[in-house]
Amino acid sequence: MITRPTPKPWIAKIHPYAPGKSTAADGRALVKLSANENPLGTSPAAIAALETHRQDASAYPDPDAKELRAKIAAIHGLDPARIVCGTGSGELLTCAVQSLAGPGDEVVFSRYSFSLYPLLAHKVGATPVFAPDTDLAASVDGLLASVTSRTKVVLLDNPNNPVGSFLGADEVARLHAGLPKDVLLVVDQAYAEYLAAGVDDGGLALAQAHENVLVSRTLSKAYGLAAERIGWATGAPHLIDLINRLRGPFNVTASGQKAALAGLEDQQFVEDSRDHNSAERARFSDAISALGNHGISAVPSEANFVLVRFDGSVTAGAALDALAKAGYAVRHLPSQGLPNALRITIGKTEDMDRVIAELQKLCGDTA
C-alpha cells in the first residue's frame, strides 16, 4: 500500500550541491579559498547601488531585466533580445538541460568538469556521460567520441572548473562542427573575465551564428556579486525562448539588477580583479612548482584558482588538514575523482603568502 507521495526514480540519484567549506571541523571560521570568490570583494559602485535600492523592497523587480540585458548587450556587442538573465548561471544551465533532455537521453561533459553538471542530468532523468579527458583537461576528441544518438546536450566549462584548463577558439569551433545540429553545445564561460586581454574561445560568436550554441556567464566571479546570484546567457532566439519559459518569474531581484548595472559600469574593478588574479596565480604556481621534488605540482590555470596535485609523500589530505589548522579552507576533490588534488582559490596577497608558507612547512622546505 502506498502511504506517501512517490518521487520519480531518478531523483534518488541527486545529491545536494556541495558548496566550498568556510568552517573547520571544530567550528572555527576559515578564510574561504574554496569557493572561487573574488578576494577584492565587490565594486564600490555596486555596493552603493545595493544599499540605495534595498531601501524599498515592496515592489516586484522587472521580470525581464530589460535594463540589465541592454547593458550586457552594449558591453559585448550582442542583441538584448537574445539575452536572458537568471539567478546565477546555474538557473540558466538548469533550464537549458531541462528544455531538451529527459529520461533515455544523455548529457555529455568532460570527465573533470563543474560538479553541477551531472546533477543537471539527474534532475531531468537523463544519463550523465563523462567524456575522456587529456591530462585532466577537456578533450574535443573525447567529447565527440562520447556523443551518441541519445545525446541532447554537451556542456563545456571554459575555462574549466576544477582544472582551470582552457580550449581556444579553434578547438571550440572544431567541437561545434563535429556535433549533430540537433545537439545543443553549452559553453559555460563563468571564468571568462579572468582570461588575458584578447583571449577568446569564440563562444559568443558561435552563439550568434548558429542555432545550437548557448553561452552562459555569471557576475559571481570577477564582478564580485556572488551573493546576489546574477547570471546571463545568449544564443539563438528559440533557445532564449525556451529558457524564458522555464526560468523563475521575477528571478533576479530589483537590488541585484541595480547592483549588476553598477558593476557592469565599473570595468576598472573587473580589470583590477583580473590583474590581481593573474599576478598572484603566477606567483603561487611558481611557488608550487618549486616543491616539485616533493611530488607537488600546479596544473596550468586560466581561472581564479589553481589545482594543486599531490603525487608524493605529502598527501592532499595532509595538506588539507594543515591548511585548515592555519585558518584556510580549500577544496578537496575526491568526489570528482581527484583524491590527490586540492583546488585553491587565488586570494589576497597575504593569504597566498600564508598558504605557500604552510605548504613549504609541510614539505620541510623553508627555502
- pLDDT, one tens digit per residue, over 215-268 is 999 999 999 999 999 999 999 999 999 999 999 999 999 999 999 999 999 999
CA dist., res. 320 & res. 34, Å (int): 11
Give the model's pLDDT for residue 33.
Answer: 96
**What's the CA gap between 253 and 62, in Å, rounded?**
8
Closest CA to 319 of 365, 351, 367, 363: 363
pLDDT of residue 366: 63
pLDDT at 247: 96
- The neighbour count for residue 278, using CB atoms within 10 Å, is 16
Cell of 342: 586540492
pLDDT value, residue 54 = 78
Cα(93)–Cα(235) distance, rounded to whole angstroms?
13
**Strand partners of residue 328:** 31
> In the chain, what are the domain boundaries?
10-41+268-363, 44-265
186-212 pLDDT tens trace: 999 999 999 999 999 999 999 999 999
The pLDDT score that the predictor gives to residue 53 is 82
CB burial of 310-332 (b: ≥16 within 10 Å; e: otherwise) equals beeebebeebbebbbebebbbbb
Domain 10-41+268-363 has CATH 3.90.1150.10: yes
**C-alpha cell at position 51:** 544599499
Q: In whole angstroms, give the CA distance from residue 306 to residue 330.
A: 11
Rounded to 10°, the helix 116-123/88-100 angle is 40
pLDDT exceeds cutoff 90 at 20: no
- Look at residue 98 in the predicted model and tell me its pLDDT: 97
* Residues 296, 318: Cα–Cα separation, whole Å: 12
> How many Å apart are CA 64 and CA 86, to the nearest integer?
10
> In the chain, what's the furthest Cα-to-Cα distance?
70
Radius of gyration of the chain (CA): 21
Question: Does the pLDDT value for residue 367 go beyond 70?
Answer: no
C-alpha cell at 161: 572548473
* Residue of higher predicted confidence among 272 and 19: 272
338-345 and 151-157 strand pairing: unpaired
Q: Which CATH class is domain 44-265?
A: alpha beta
Beta strands in 209-304 (DSSP E): 213-218, 231-235, 296-299
Q: Of residues 168 and 52, which shows the higher confidence score?
A: 168
Average pLDDT, rounded, for the chain: 95
Summarize pLDDT for 144-180 with one digit per residue, the tens.
999 999 999 999 999 999 999 999 999 999 999 999 9
